[in-house]
Structure 1
């Protein structure tokens, strides 16, 4: 491994961004400029005009002279304009722009002119042509540190006007030519088509300080044709880097302002990264650093601040590792502040870390424009190794589909339906138990009636009738005891949520109104309960008095009846004892008759109503899940279009019956039903249908649907009732069998698709990352996306996709992959280093900055020595 680069005087460069540049500007130093019509006689006037035109950099390119270069550099001091000194050379074949780094003295440019054959007395001569052509002059310019660009190639004295086509192609393919300037924007595509497969040459447009309709150089034409280059700064260093990757860094049309949500900065107070602030680009950001420098920690801090960490339910081990990392790297009370933007909206999210329970995120700013219905700012995040877990588990794959969907509606509808179904299940279970118990007791009714008939013949008919009536009333009045405490109960705890300061300051009045409404409800409940208590006291006293009067009257009748029986029993047949038994039987029959009435008039109708209502609730739940499924299907269609046929996703029928089998096995425990029987029922029937058949006592329907033997289904149903597990059995109807997801991958366009379950580990991860990259414009944050990927695939799939999607989404990667940093061309690189106690930002910026380039070489390749060794040993394959 190479040694760490010596300490660099690093500065925090900004991220690469687009700058408007005009690389062909003439001043009065050009002898074809008429000061009277040009519009300026002083350098500062030109600088001001360029700034007013919205330019960030210009190149001073007067004809065969550098006379105004130093003056223009001096005039731009203290302004926002970068001035690059240059020349417009008249070569033997046409005009050639030569541009140097800002601050290069004019003397250097004049020496180059002399080297090219233009003697000092001839500097500025319009018609003094070099003996060298485009490529020969360009080689001298590049050797002397300049950048060579054929000027107005599609116009007079331009490269494309050469008579020999081969000479044009040779010039365009020569490495000394850094770009080509075109006047007509449509010619740019022709140049690209001409060079396809041989060279990616940048095409630029510049004003030549001319204006539409003007035949001479005029100041108001500055910038009317321009180029946008992406760099940390629009100096020659940035310009060279942009021209080397024109597909990403050069635009002939003004780039549109980003509309996606982006993380602007992260600031950490306390813990391992105490005092560090990280600024990000709207596009690709890469975090570099050695093990333990804090790059993975920064990923986790962003997810922590936005309360979007790894789901502990889906991936418990990953979440455990993340929690351990936060606990180690943060002190109690540490805070993380994340600033996010979208368009003109800007929001700060602050969250404090406490080991025993962290605070909720605090939102400040344009919250409503950046948060969804969930109340959170959406990001897509993957902790280290989390991509692997997504690739491995079906639940993880569905989470990728759901990431860009607003499922809030279903997250509310489904739990509500489940809650009502469970409440209904409790009611049905209670009614089923009551009905069973009542029917069991009613089995004694025929015997009671038979014995009652036998005893009734021993007594006077009228006596029996009267006794029967008193016995019937006894069943009514004996239980007449105090009514238990009654209270009105309503959910008022939701009102506590409005006691905190409003998230949106302008909505504080609504918070106060909500508090007042809940207070009014609580007062009304308290008043009502007080009134109920008073009325209940009076009613219970009255009921006790009524019961006592009835008891006294019954005792009087009983005494009279006993006396009558003693008069009748003159033969000492024991009628008194028989009367006692008669009373017991009459009382028992009265109770059974009441229970029969309750069964017919209350329990059975209530069960029928509850079962019917349950079907309505089931329909609601099924519709909610179908609606969610339809939304997922629409997203999958969109994703498949965006993935270009590399990955294909399909929705499958609900097929996860693991929870179903687990619950059914637990309920059937003790029934002696074997596992294969339960597996057959689960496989061939859904929980909804099985429970529906149970409630209808439809054993034959289950047998027909599943192929299970009748005795097995009967055993199951009987066991549920005998075990008292009706409520648990009914609860199975709320189980979500989960939508199935088929993910298929193919390496090449002519290959067939292969299911993800049959893919190698790296292929699985590649498929998941392609899905993650394909859709959505929320920030995508991944810790080491290259883990487990085959190196060529990083370039072939991830880098290619990142280049295609540039400008539509923000990416933040902690990585060691040269492909992601260099080939994908990160706009912002942040390198971190650390000692035993703290991690710090080492440098920031884009690759064209020397310090970033040096550090990237160290972190990604091990330094210059191993990089050179690999280049030497593998370079023959590039021949």
Structure 2
């Protein structure tokens, strides 16, 4: 193949000869086709030759061109069970074509091959369609048998349609026996193939993101994908931890909104219950008891005075025989003494009544002054109590309420301390870890994009820029990017 200066398109080169013999150095029949070219045409015509010259890399071969035999060959396939039961396919190591009208089962012959080699479609939109097709075609326990060749060794690959699906069974074929390989073998690495259904090709044309998978097959991004998978696992674990801590945060925060109000209520109760007027007012009640007792005692003295005087009254014995007594003079004087005592008692009664009345009047004035003071104090106390005890519960109930508030405030303060010193710092730390994971994931994805862009540039150069391949990573609007943007809001992620 050659190029001409100033002419961009690569020129097709062929070689030929007439009947000139190299050995004899003359024209002769044995010299015919000494030099030749292989030209691939759909028909021997000028139009066929024109197509070959336009696409020389695919349609023209010179005798000296390398034509290596393929190392990996699908030799044959047959199916037991299902729609294609007993159908056998033998393949050529070069080009094979399924030819048939619509609905004759061309796709049904391709998908079992991919299923048997464990390399079904990865295009999500086509995956369900293929799964439904294979399920209908192979039914339960339908088995695909495939003979492949790697180098000089033949293998039999067998895979049965089950739910859940099982890995292919691989056996080595020799002249003597078919030996089953017990080692776990990843079929995608052991015998990789490229196969695309019509639906996939349509999706490749329709969806730029799906087309990226074609580029990814040409580059090694296994390490990046492994790291991204590991980062996704870490991200899920991080999300689980964040949700757990946030749930704990909601639990700890429960009731904390009431803390300021409870503290304020306790302050008011402290002010009220510790107020000197409240405390001193209890002494007023003790004092009232003393005053009321004095008033009662002195008021009762008036009623007790007459019986007391009567108890002191004495009477001399009288009778007819007293006149017959021999000492009438002494008896007469004794009678006078009794009369004198009675007069003294009358004077005593009158004097005590006057003095007792004076004392009671004095006591009444004293009690009146005290009651005036008490009523003033009681009024102020009731006013203060009305402000404190609006529900008219009583001081004891208010004191009990304060004790309950002290316990509630203590519990809520412990929660607040736990929230501020443990829960929130943990959430911040987990969010920082999440941002680091997401940033690292973005970097890994950017690394994949760089490799894709490099491969696209390389392919474009090989195509002499007749077809340009572009990786529009910035226009990627898939769900992952949208989720990243949502998480980035309010976070520390840097746009890349």
TM-score range normalised by the length of the shorter chain: 0.5 to 0.7
Structural mapping, 1:576-595, within 5 Å: 576-595=396-415
Match of 1:256 among 45, 56, 68: 68
- 311 and 331 in structure 1: CA distance in 2 versus 1, 3 angstrom threshold: same
What SS does structure 2 have at the residue aligned with 1:286? coil
- Summarize deviations over 1:308-328 as a string: whole Å, max 9, x none: 333462336xx42x4454455
Give the corresponding residue for 1:690.
489
Counterpart CA distance in 2 for 1:591 and 1:178 is: 110
Counterpart CA distance in 1 for 2:109 and 2:212 is: 26
Counterpart CA distance in 1 for 2:482 and 2:445 is: 22
Structural mapping, 1:264-279, within 5 Å: 264-279=75-90
Structural mapping, 1:840-851, within 5 Å: none
Structural mapping, 1:366-405, within 5 Å: 377-405=191-219
Matched, 1:333 2:141: yes
Matched-pair contact (CA < 8 Å) for 2:21–2:31: no
Gaps of 5+ in 2: 1-16, 38-45, 50-57, 174-180, 277-392
- 281 and 425 in structure 1: CA distance in 2 versus 1, 3 angstrom threshold: farther
Matched, 1:425 2:242: yes
How far did residue 302 of structure 1 move? 0.6
Matched-pair contact (CA < 8 Å) for 1:371–1:378: no
> What is the total number of aligned residue pairs between the two structures?
338
Task: Return the structure number with greater relative CO, CA threshold 8 A, min gap 6.
Answer: 1
What SS does structure 2 have at the residue aligned with 1:380? coil
Matched-pair contact (CA < 8 Å) for 1:314–1:396: no
Max radius of gyration: which structure? Answer: 2
Structural mapping, 1:725-764, within 5 Å: none
Counterpart CA distance in 1 for 2:428 and 2:256 is: 17
- 458 and 380 in structure 1: CA distance in 2 versus 1, 3 angstrom threshold: same
How far did residue 416 of structure 1 move? 1.5
Counterpart CA distance in 1 for 2:450 and 2:481 is: 26
- 253 and 309 in structure 1: CA distance in 2 versus 1, 3 angstrom threshold: closer
Structural mapping, 1:340-489, within 5 Å: 340-344=148-152, 346-354=154-162, 358-365=165-172, 377-409=191-223, 410-411=225-226, 412-427=229-244, 429-430=246-247, 433-434=250-251, 437=254, 439-455=256-272, 457=274
Structural mapping, 1:60-459, within 5 Å: 153-156=21-24, 158-159=26-27, 180-182=32-34, 247-248=60-61, 251-252=63-64, 255-259=67-71, 261-311=72-122, 313-315=124-126, 319-320=128-129, 322-344=130-152, 346-354=154-162, 358-365=165-172, 377-409=191-223, 410-411=225-226, 412-427=229-244, 429-430=246-247, 433-434=250-251, 437=254, 439-455=256-272, 457=274
Counterpart CA distance in 1 for 2:266 and 2:19 is: 118
Matched-pair contact (CA < 8 Å) for 2:80–2:143: yes
Matched-pair contact (CA < 8 Å) for 2:81–2:142: yes
How far did residue 577 of structure 1 move? 2.4
Counterpart CA distance in 1 for 2:105 and 2:444 is: 44
How far did residue 153 of structure 1 move? 2.0
What SS does structure 2 have at the residue aligned with 1:651? coil
Matched-pair contact (CA < 8 Å) for 1:347–1:365: yes
- 270 and 643 in structure 1: CA distance in 2 versus 1, 3 angstrom threshold: farther
Which structure has more helix as a fraction of its residues? Answer: 2
Counterpart CA distance in 2 for 1:179 and 1:246 is: 25
Matched-pair contact (CA < 8 Å) for 2:76–2:148: yes
TM-score by length of 1: 0.34
Give the corresponding residue for 1:207.
none
- 254 and 649 in structure 1: CA distance in 2 versus 1, 3 angstrom threshold: closer
Structural mapping, 1:797-816, within 5 Å: none
Give the corresponding residue for 1:599.
419
RMSD of the TM alignment (CA)?
4.4
Matched-pair contact (CA < 8 Å) for 2:143–2:158: yes
How far did residue 419 of structure 1 move? 1.4
